[in-house]
Amino acid sequence: MRLSTKAQYAVRAMVSLSLHADEGPVSIKDISAREAISLPYLEQLFVKLRRGEIVTSVRGPGGGYRLARPASDIRIDEIIDSVEETLVPVSCMDEKGRCVCDDQCVTHNVWQGLGERIRSFLASITLEDLTREARQKLEQ
């Protein structure tokens, strides 16, 4: 299973935002340059992150984005959910982990269990956890 580019970029962008949050609103252009993610793509992601109440926007000179809540209150699964990515491990399951086949397949329970473990794992990690790791790498 692979997470989409959209999910990966959203998490990377949020870590970048969190790393620089104490400097005031963070420009999406700065995030784009730091993370080598195209600006138009990031703009699309940040619209979704704002709708998901993960970030807030600040208009005007010196504007940009801020975290909507403390990094310790933002879980990685929330970031992925806000950019409308599903965390199901196989294509025959809907976003709630239900089998979409006419008859439930014999391996459904395996895939459902895997999906639940993935979600649980991502829900156990906060943006603060990843920001702390990123700071440690930058200090080395």
Domains in the chain, please, with CATH? 5-86+126-139 (1.10.10.10)
pLDDT at 1: 56
User: Rounded to whole angstroms, how far apart are CA atoms 140 and 135?
Assistant: 9
Q: What is the per-residue pLDDT for 53?
A: 96
pLDDT at 61: 86
17 CB-near residues (< 8 Å, 6+ apart) = 26, 31, 55, 65, 66, 67
Say what the pTM is.
0.87
Tens of pLDDT along the chain (140 residues) come to 567 899 999 999 999 999 999 999 999 999 999 999 999 999 999 999 999 999 999 998 888 999 999 999 999 999 999 997 777 777 777 776 667 776 667 877 888 888 889 889 999 999 999 999 999 998 88
Q: pLDDT at position 104, please?
A: 66
What's residue 34's pLDDT?
95
Chain-centroid distance of CA 26 in Å reads 17
Torsion sign over Cα 3, 30, 26, 21: positive
